[in-house]
Amino acid sequence: MSAEHRAESGIPVPAVAGPDDVRPGLDERLGAPGAYPFTRGVYPTMYTSRPWTMRQYAGFGTARESNARYHQLLAAGGHGLSVAFDLPTQMGYDSDEPIAHGEVGKVGVAIDSIDDMRTLFDRIPLGEVSTSMTINAPAAVLLLLYQLVAEEQGVPGAKLTGTIQNDVLKEYVARGTYIFPPRPSLRLVADTFAYCAAELPRWNTISISGYHMAEAGATPVQEIAFTLANGIEYVRTAVAAGLAVDDFAPRLSFFFVARTTLLEEVAKFRAARRIWARIMRDEFGATNPKSQMLRFHTQTAGVQLTAQQPEVNLIRVAVQGLGAVLGGTQSLHTNSYDEAIALPTEKAARLALRTQQVLAYETDLTATVDPFAGSYLVESMTDEIEAATVALIDKVFEYGSAVDAIEAGFQKREIELSAYRVAQEIEAGERTVVGVNRFQTDDDEPYEPLRVDPAIGAEQEKRLAALRADRDDPAVRAALDALRTAAAGTENVLVPMKAALRARATVGEVCHALRDVWGTHQPAERF
């Protein structure tokens, strides 16, 4: 008899599953597609009416170079854009600041001002394209720049669709691109909710992310438990700020990873929908079904890609994308096979999009609403993941709140332990990574990666100098002073922030104005 197999989260996976492996009351836990508790999907018809949004994450170098890549992706059949920003932009610094030296344009596009945002979306109709922006601490700043450019195109805020990640809590846990301390950061998130409810009603104001926790080593259970705990914290913050839950909750969205462990990933997505629906209905009293829906974007697992035999990543990404689709994702980014080496080449990015198109148009995945419904194994795993996730969420709130747990280092510590365990298993050969610790070859073909021109930093510095020479500096200073006053009080900071950006204040100047009032986050030594 073979040894018991355990999933990534540690739950048992029966070799042969049957009715006895599924807990009683399955019909109530499943429901119909598009109905509470949304286990079977958030929409009644899912992909039978239209496929998921194929959204490719891209951004590098200058706004002009990234704009060219966006046009290529849209021409290749992409449905939406997903913007990657460089590290200085993510941290709220301008390209000409000393701390940004050597990082400008490296891991994403450099955006310093409305001039750059205008170039980034040149000849792209913002009223027709859905745009996702992976930006957190300065998310409100980049969103307002996007809105200003849309207004220049004649597109009102009511027509704009897309998502800002805006999930700063996970930055303290897994990623590190935070600026302000947690509590003023939460205030900025709540202000963004309120602003968008009035000005950009179709915009997803937050993408509560488990993806980066998974990349840091979180198990599937840790990924959704810590993500949903953060979601609870955001909802509590917005309600405490006076917002009615059904006024903002329909625009909440989530962001998860899809690993190669396909069956567990499908069960994870089903469990996450069910848990969130119950939280929103029972804890927050949400009555609008859209407030109870867990809508999510998925990205295939970058952490599982290998620099060795990079073409094998094409197979990994296809399996991961399949898991996301079977799990009912609303949009999907499939990683390029060369991302473990460098920024994706144009050919690799196109192949990644083609992977999604094969899944959507050459398979029968879109012929039925919920392909795995009634699978004894998947329903059993969904139950186990749900129970383990709820137990872990309870542990988070034993600290008082998700922020209290973050400040105590709980989530970060748990994720690091999981990452260490996986590293040990790979080192010992207990976990197979094809091409790394098994099935290696000595004849890998040479690969020429995409390289970012180091002169980009100097180019951005020239653009900033020209901007500062051309703008009305007294107007900029007055607008930044108004932003500081709002940050020190209770006014919604996005209103004076938009005025400052319209006056051509830079991203760094706006973030420094908030730093002047709120300070910066200093992680505790025990982290």
CA distance 247 to 243: 7
Strand, coil or helix: what is 300? strand
Share of the chain above pLDDT 70, in %: 97
Indicate whether 71 pLDDT > 60: yes
For residue 355, what are the contacts with CB-CB under 8 A and spacing of at least 6? Answer: 314, 317, 318, 321, 334
Indicate whether 130 pLDDT > 70: yes
468 HSE (CA, 13 A, CB side): 14
pLDDT band at 107 (very low <50, low <70, confident <90, very high): confident
Burial class (CB in 10 A: 0-12, 13-18, 19+), 168: buried
- Smallest CA-to-CA distance from 356 within 326, 328, 304, 318 is with 318
The predicted structure's pLDDT at residue 163: 93
- Smallest CA-to-CA distance from 134 within 195, 184, 80, 190 is with 80
Residue 199's domain spans which residues? 35-428
Q: Is residue 377 part of a domain?
A: yes
The predicted structure's pLDDT at residue 444: 67
Report the predicted TM-score, pTM, of the whole model to 2 decimal places: 0.90
Token duo for residue 128? 């027709």
Domains: count for the chain: 1
Q: Is residue 239 part of a domain?
A: yes
Q: Is the CB of residue 273 less than 8 Å from the CB of residue 42? A: yes
Indicate whether 363 pLDDT > 70: yes
The predicted structure's pLDDT at residue 527: 39
Strand, coil or helix: what is 337? coil
pLDDT band at 2 (very low <50, low <70, confident <90, very high): very low
Q: Is the CB of residue 109 less than 8 Å from the CB of residue 84? A: yes
Burial class (CB in 10 A: 0-12, 13-18, 19+), 98: exposed
pLDDT band at 55 (very low <50, low <70, confident <90, very high): confident
Q: Is residue 282 part of a domain?
A: yes
Q: Is residue 243 part of a domain?
A: yes
Q: Is residue 470 part of a domain?
A: no
Token duo for residue 59? 């951004």
In this structure, the dihedral spanned by the alpha carbons of residues 341, 347, 351 and 357, taken in order and rounded to 10 degrees, is: 140
Q: Is residue 22 part of a domain?
A: no
The predicted structure's pLDDT at residue 243: 93
Indicate whether 57 pLDDT > 90: no
CA distance 455 to 441: 37
Q: Is residue 484 part of a domain?
A: no
CA distance 272 to 393: 12
Give the H or E element holding residue 131.
Answer: strand 130-134
pLDDT band at 154 (very low <50, low <70, confident <90, very high): very high
Q: Is residue 510 part of a domain?
A: no
- Read off the pLDDT of residues 478-523 as tens digits, 9 standing for 90 and up: 999 999 999 999 999 999 999 999 999 999 999 999 999 999 998 7
- Read off the pLDDT of residues 364-385 as tens digits, 9 standing for 90 and up: 999 999 999 889 999 999 999 9
Identity (one letter) of the amino acid at 284?
Answer: F
pLDDT higher at 175 or 114 = 114
Q: Assign residue 294 the CATH number of its domain.
A: 3.20.20.240
The predicted structure's pLDDT at residue 353: 94
For residue 353, what are the contacts with CB-CB under 8 A and spacing of at least 6? Answer: 54, 56, 73, 76, 77, 78, 334
CA distance 511 to 515: 6
For residue 448, what are the contacts with CB-CB under 8 A and spacing of at least 6? Answer: none
Q: Classify the C-alpha dihedral 354-78-166-34 as positive or negative.
A: negative
CA distance 338 to 8: 25
The predicted structure's pLDDT at residue 453: 75
CA distance 436 to 253: 35
The predicted structure's pLDDT at residue 206: 94
| Extended beta strands in 65-106, E state | 80-84
What phi, psi does 43 have (nearest 5°)?
-125, 145
- Read off the pLDDT of residues 211-223 as tens digits, 9 standing for 90 and up: 999 999 999 999 9
- Smallest CA-to-CA distance from 175 within 273, 58, 91 is with 91
Cα radius of gyration (the chain): 23
Burial class (CB in 10 A: 0-12, 13-18, 19+), 155: middle
How far is C-alpha 276 from the geometric centre of its chain's CA atoms?
A: 17
Share of the chain above pLDDT 90, in %: 85
- Read off the pLDDT of residues 266-290 as tens digits, 9 standing for 90 and up: 999 999 999 999 999 999 999 999 9
Helix residue spans in 76-138 (DSSP H): 87-90, 114-120
Q: Classify the C-alpha dihedral 469-471-472-476 as positive or negative.
A: negative
For residue 222, what are the contacts with CB-CB under 8 A and spacing of at least 6? Answer: 9, 213, 392, 411, 414, 415, 418
Burial class (CB in 10 A: 0-12, 13-18, 19+), 308: middle
Average pLDDT (172-188) is 93
Token duo for residue 41? 């999907």
The predicted structure's pLDDT at residue 59: 78
Q: Is the CB of residue 264 less than 8 Å from the CB of residue 218? A: no
